[in-house]
Amino acid sequence: MKIQMMVWFSSALLSLTAMADSDAVDAVRFALQENSKLPVEEVTVSQMPGLYEVVLSDGTVLFTDQSGTYFIVGDLYQATGRSLVNLSDARRNDQRKKLIAAIDESEMVVFSPEPGMKKTAITVFTDIDCGYCRKLHQEVPELNRLGIEVRYLAYPRAGLESESYDKIVSAWCADDQRSALTRAKTGKKIESRDCKNPVAQHYALGGAVGVTGTPSIIFEDGRLLPGYLPAERLAQQLGIASGS
Q: Which residues are catalytic?
A: 127, 130, 133, 157
Could you tell me the maximum CA-CA distance found in the chain, to the nearest angstrom?
78
User: If DSSP codes are grouped into helix, strand and coil, which group holds residue 142?
Assistant: helix
Q: Are 109 and 172 in contact (CB under 8 A)?
A: yes
What φ, ψ does residue 215 adopt, rounded to 5°? -75, 150
DSSP class per residue in 19-34: HHHHHHHHHHHHHHHH
Question: Which residues 6+ apart lie within 8 Å of 165 measured at CB?
Answer: 156, 158, 159, 199
Strands 61-64 and 83-86: unpaired
Closest to 94 in 3D by CA, of 105, 84, 86: 86
Residues 124/215, Cβ–Cβ less than 8 Å: yes
